[in-house]
Amino acid sequence: MNEKLLNLTDKQCPVNELMNYAKTHKCADCGKCVFGYEGATQLELTMADITMKRSRATDMEQLKKLCTMMVEQSLCDDGIELGQTALAMLDKYADDFAAHIAKKSCKAGVCKKFVTFHILPDLCIGCGDCVDECEDDAIMGKKKFIHVIDQSECTQCGKCVSACDEEAIVMAGAVKPRGPLKPVPCKR
């Protein structure tokens, strides 16, 4: 079993880590047995779906069945190891998987589809530099007004973060900063 994957830091996302592990695992290139090769492929695809907000409520149950079959029916230790590692991760990080699937949230802020960008009202001076940087016209505001990101238009590219000299634009995972819904006059 891969112990490193069972000791992740807060900045690592278990879904993303398992996806990359399955993708680069020996079984993904082998093909000598169905449960090793197909198991690695299905694990990678399912993790990719979860990170892209395309998960289904039944994913956890299906993944556990798949990994159990990998452990029981793979022809060599590699397939067995991958199945065991995945099963241990599904168990240890059950809350993280559930948050991705049910709440569409990534605590570590790694899965780009789950993160959002926000303008901190106390730091924004209403200069408008971020508006020029946003190719999606997702930032609302005018001079001397606290700017606001329209989440329905934002494509999470992150370009506006470096455009703001005041460091007022931040990325958020599960916990979102508070701010006005529409531009309001600056306090500064």
Contacts with ligand SF4, residue ranges (CB under 6 A): 117, 119, 124-130, 133-134, 136, 138-139, 141, 147, 149, 154-160, 163-164, 166, 168-169
Q: How far is the CB of 173 from ligand SF4 (least distance, A)?
A: 14
Q: Which is nearer to ligand SF4, 84 or 156 (CB)?
A: 156
Q: How far is the CB of 181 from ligand SF4 (least distance, A)?
A: 15
Query: In this structure, are residues 134 and 177 in contact, taking their beta carbons and an 8 Å threshold?
Result: no
Q: How far is the CB of 107 from ligand SF4 (least distance, A)?
A: 20
Q: How far is the CB of 168 from ligand SF4 (least distance, A)?
A: 4
Q: Which is nearer to ligand SF4, 9 or 152 (CB)?
A: 152
Query: In this structure, are residues 100 and 138 in contact, taking their beta carbons and an 8 Å threshold?
Result: no
Query: In this structure, are residues 31 and 56 in contact, taking their beta carbons and an 8 Å threshold?
Result: no
Q: Which residues of 6-17 are buried (b: 16+ CB within 10 A; e: fewer)?
A: eebeeeebbbbb
Q: Which is nearer to ligand SF4, 6 or 110 (CB)?
A: 110
In angstroms, the CA 21 to CA 117 distance is 28
Rounded to whole angstroms, the maximal C-alpha distance in the chain is 67
Q: How far is the CB of 70 from ligand SF4 (least distance, A)?
A: 39
Query: In this structure, are residues 66 and 18 in contact, taking their beta carbons and an 8 Å threshold?
Result: no
Q: Which is nearer to ligand SF4, 69 or 131 (CB)?
A: 131
Nearest Cα neighbor of 135 from 164, 165, 156, 110 is 156
Q: Which is nearer to ligand SF4, 11 or 143 (CB)?
A: 143
Query: In this structure, are residues 95 and 4 in contact, taking their beta carbons and an 8 Å threshold?
Result: no
